[in-house]
Each structure stands twice: as structure tokens, then as C-alpha cells.
Amino acid sequence: MTRKKRRLLVLLVCGIGLGSATALTLSAFSDNLVFFVSPSSLAKMGPSGRQVRLGGLVEQGTVEKSSGGQAGARFKVTDGNASVLVTFKGILPDLFREGQGVVVLGVDQTDGVFRASEVLAKHDETYMPKEVADALKKSGRWNPAAGPPPPASTWNQSATKPPG
Amino acid sequence: MDARSSVAPPRTGKTLHRFANPGQFLRTSGKVLPWLFWVGALLTVAGVIWGLFFAPDDWQQGDTVRIMYVHVPFAWLASAGYFSLAACCFVSLVWRHPLADLAAAEIGPVGAGFTAICLATGSLWGKPTWGTWWVWDARLTSVLVLFLLYLGHIALVRAFDDPTRGYRAGAILALVGVINLPIIKFSVDWWNTLHQPASIGLMGAPTIASSMLWPLLFSAFGFTLLFIAITIARTRAAVMERRIRSLLMARASSPGGEEIPL
């Protein structure tokens, strides 16, 4: 075996070892690597009094903006199976709306209300021009409050101008 | 090629070694470099102007979406640049190619700069859309680790008096860091993150309107050519610097002040 072949072999073996060690570590800690928990898993955990991040979609028809002098809102965050009532005092991000993904930081109280100290809007991987969104809404193919838009392949050809 | 060059003696006969010959590299890259630079600059300007002024607004982000035409190419190049750095380090460790050492040392600062711009534009984009400059989710954190790996490589290859030892240590660090690349790519799929999953993939149709995809592809391709051009220009400079240094040393040590043509 030449020295080059030996070096190649050593590097490959080290790579495989390091790769599998990292994969095992990451899969062992994958519960701690999540940025937020879903309403279902929050319900399973029960109120702990600890600060957690809760992520999900803003449930349709549940948003009540507070009417008093202070900015704030009550809304439900859902993942389709469970939903959690969230109260928040403060300014909501611009992208906040019904059907939008959000991540809220706060404490799950024993009374079943999640008091949020921070609301972040999560946006999905779909990028579409305003005209396309309007056309989809008008034709009844998509309701932004109800869920994510239809796949891009269904509207990309019909609704946008060809490139160039 | 100059017989006095301090960089490896040319090995003839093998295809790969022909390109690793520094003299051949200087000749070939000198011809390619202006093309890379000007085509890259043209595509970049076209893509960025198209994206910033002519592409449509996003239906919910409005004009903010235009940061994408800079952020996304730099994010791709941050990872791709690290991959090329690691590939050079691999060649350097296995085949001991001096040109790969030089290229790895020169890719480092360029990649670090691109990663820094990716992080900065991402932060500027995050504030108006998510409502925060920074969160410690898996995607953002793994890209920050990538930036630190670049900085570590930059520091390590320059930390030794004997450059060869620096290249060796830097190569090992760079190869260990490769494990971060799949973590960056799949962080948004494996764990829930604030950062959204990829809109463009090898499998499946893109989830971005084609009127926004085209300018993005133009600017991404342009920035890629510019990245390659900058790296090649830096590597050429490093090869020439090495040659000059070895010529000066040969002149200084030659008895009787014998003239050595530069």
C-alpha cells in the first residue's frame, strides 16, 4: 500500500467515525435542538411554570386584538390536533395574521392560558407575487387564514409571465 | 516552468497533476480570469437590478423580500465555499499538493466574508419579517458555527512559523468542520426552526414564483462566478508571492551576488 493510499484510507476512516459520532449525538439530543414545541406536545408536557417556545399556526377566527390603550392580542395557536390559547401584550410583527405560523415565547399557566412575552412570525417557503395571491383568493382556490397556499407548480405557469 | 520555483516540481503524465502544476495554473487562470470576472459582474448587476427594481413584491412581505436576491446567493456560497475549501484540504492531506494548500488558505477569507454578509443580510431580513434580529435556532446557529470555522481556519493556517505545519493543521480543522455542512442544509428539515425550509431543491418543484426565481438564479450565478474569480485572483497572487520570495532568497544566499533573472 502506498503512502498516499494509506493517508486516503486514514482520512476516510476518520470521516466515517466522526460522521457517525455526530449523527448519534445529534439524534440523542434532537429533543433539545428544537426551537419550539407544538401545542400537542405542550399539552402532553402539562404546565411546568418554565418558559417555553410554542410554535404553530394562528387558528382561523380566534384573533381578538385588545381594544384598550395597550397593544396586545388573544389568539389560539394550533397544530391541527391541539390548540392553546395565547395572550400577548405588545406589538405584533407585521406578518402576524390568521393562518400564519408563529413562535411565541412564554409560560404555560395552570389556568390553561399561555402568557407570551414575545411573538415571532414564521413565514413559509412560498414566495408569490401579490397578483397571484389575489387571483388564488378570488378564484377560491386558497384561503390564507385556513392554511398554506397550493403548490407552486399549480399556479406558476398560469398566473405569472414567462421569464425573460 | 521556472525550475527555481519553490512550489512543487511538475509531474507529467497524469491529468490531475497537469492542473496542479503552478506554472500551468498561472497560464490557464490568467486567460480565464477576465472572463470569469466580467461575466460574473454582468450577471450580478443584471440579477440584482432585476431583483431590486423589477421583480414583483411578495404578497405578504412586500418589498422586504428583495433582500433575498443578495441573502440567498451569499448563503449558498458560504456553504459551497466551505465545501471547496475542504476539497482543497483533502487534496492537500492525501496528495500533498502545494497549490491546494495555497488555494485553501486563500478561499478562507473570501468564504468568511461571504458568510458574514449572509448573516448580516439575514439579520436585516429577520427583523421586519420574523420580528427579531437573531434567534438561536438550528439554522442560524449552524451558519454562525460555519463562520467561526472559517475564522478558525484563517487563524490556524497563519499561526505557525513553518507554513506547511499551518496548512496541515488548518486542513484537519477544515475537514472536521465539513460535518457542519449537512447540518446547515438539513437543519430546517430535521428540527423545527424559525427559519423556513428551502424553497428550491433538487427534488420537487420550487415553491417560489418563476418571476422571482429567475432574477435569483441570475444573481446567484453571477455571485458564484465572482467568488471563483476572487479566489483565483488571490491564489495567483499567492503563487507569485511565493516565487518572488524564493527568488529573493536564492539571490541573497548565492555567493558573489550572482544575478538571477526574475
Full DSSP string of A65-76: E--SSS-EEEEE
Residue among B117, B72, B20 nearest B208 (CA) = B72
Of B138, B207, B211, the CB nearest to A125: B207
pLDDT, greater one: B44 or B12: B44
Q: What are the chain A neighbours of B193 within 8 Å (beta carbons)?
A: 35
Q: Other CB atoms closer than 10 Å to residue A125's CB: what's the count?
A: 17
For range B229-254, the mean pLDDT = 92
Helices B68-95 and B22-49: angle between axes, nearest 10 degrees = 170
Q: What are the chain B neighbours of A127 within 8 Å (beta carbons)?
A: 58, 65, 68, 199, 207-209, 212
Q: Other CB atoms closer than 10 Å to residue A94's CB: what's the count?
A: 15
Decide: B40 and B232 in contact? Cβ < 8 Å. Answer: no
- The span from the CA of B25 to the CA of B20, in Å, is 7
Q: What is the pTM of this model?
A: 0.87
- Compute the nearest-CA separation of A157 from chain B (Å): 8
Q: Is the pLDDT of residue B66 over 90?
A: yes
Decide: B199 and B206 in contact? Cβ < 8 Å. Answer: yes
- Compute the nearest-CA separation of A68 from chain B (Å): 23
Q: Is the pLDDT of residue B185 over 80?
A: yes
Residue B19: the pLDDT is 61
> Which range in B48-62, B77-91, B152-166 is most confidently predicted, on average pLDDT?
B77-91
Q: Other CB atoms closer than 10 Å to residue A87's CB: what's the count?
A: 17
| Prediction ipTM score | 0.83
- Compute the nearest-CA separation of B57 from chain A (Å): 6
Residue A160: the pLDDT is 45
Residue B262: the pLDDT is 54
Cell of A110: 395552570
Residue B17: the pLDDT is 61
For range B66-75, the mean pLDDT = 95
Binary contact (B183, A26; C-beta < 8 A): yes
- The span from the CA of B30 to the CA of B3, in Å, is 20
pLDDT 10s digits, B26-52: 999 999 999 999 999 999 999 999 999
Closest-CA residue of chain A to B50: A164
- Compute the nearest-CA separation of A35 from chain B (Å): 5
pLDDT, greater one: B60 or B234: B234
Residue B259: the pLDDT is 58
Decide: B24 and B12 in contact? Cβ < 8 Å. Answer: no
Binary contact (A34, B196; C-beta < 8 A): no
Residue B16: the pLDDT is 57
DSSP-derived pairing of the beta strands A83-89 and A72-78: antiparallel
CB pairs under 8 A between A and B: 134
Q: Domain boundaries in chain A?
A: 36-122
Residue A107: in which H helix or E strand, if any? strand A101-108
Residue among A83, A77, A82 nearest A104 (CA) = A77
Residue among A119, A50, A115 nearest A87 (CA) = A115
DSSP characters over B40-99: HHHHHHHHHHIIIIISPPBTTTBGGGGGHHHHHHHHHHHHHHHHHHHHHHHHHHHH--HH
Binary contact (A35, B65; C-beta < 8 A): no
- Compute the nearest-CA separation of B256 from chain A (Å): 42
- Compute the nearest-CA separation of B171 from chain A (Å): 11
pLDDT 10s digits, B93-145: 998 888 999 999 999 999 999 999 999 999 999 999 998 999 998 999 999 99
Q: What are the chain A neighbours of B130 within 8 Å (beta carbons)?
A: 93, 95, 120-123
Of A38, A93, A155, the CB nearest to B131: A93
- Compute the nearest-CA separation of A110 from chain B (Å): 26
Of the candidate ranges B140-144, B228-232, B243-247, the one whose mean pLDDT is the lowest: B243-247
pLDDT, greater one: B258 or A122: A122
- Give me chain B's average pLDDT, please: 88
- Look up the CATH architecture of domain A36-122: Beta Barrel (2.40)
Q: Other CB atoms closer than 10 Å to residue A88's CB: what's the count?
A: 23
Q: What are the chain A neighbours of B94 within 8 Å (beta carbons)?
A: 4, 7-8, 11
For range B198-223, the mean pLDDT = 88
Residue B4: the pLDDT is 46
Question: Is B208 in CB contact (< 8 Å) with chain A?
Answer: yes
Question: Is B207 in CB contact (< 8 Å) with chain A?
Answer: yes
Q: Is the pLDDT of residue B84 over 90?
A: yes
CA atoms within 13 A on the CB side of B140: 20
Residue B14: the pLDDT is 55
Q: Is the pLDDT of residue B60 over 60?
A: yes
Question: Is B217 in CB contact (< 8 Å) with chain A?
Answer: no
Binary contact (B59, A129; C-beta < 8 A): yes
Residue B12: the pLDDT is 46
What burial letters (b/e) apply to B17-50, b meaning 16+ CB within 10 Å? eeebbbeebeeebeeeeeebbeebeebbeebbeb
Q: What are the chain B neighbours of A128 within 8 Å (beta carbons)?
A: 58-59, 208-209
Of the residues B180, B210, B216, the best mutation for testing chain A's interface (the one with the most A CB atoms within 10 Å of its CB) is: B210
Confidence class for position B217, pLDDT limits 50, 70, 90: very high
pLDDT mean values, one per 10 residues, chain A (164 residues)? 86 91 87 84 80 89 80 88 89 86 87 88 86 84 78 66 42
pLDDT, greater one: B204 or A101: A101
B167: buried, middle or exposed (CB in 10 Å: 19+, 13-18, 0-12)? buried
Q: What are the chain A neighbours of B132 within 8 Å (beta carbons)?
A: 118, 120
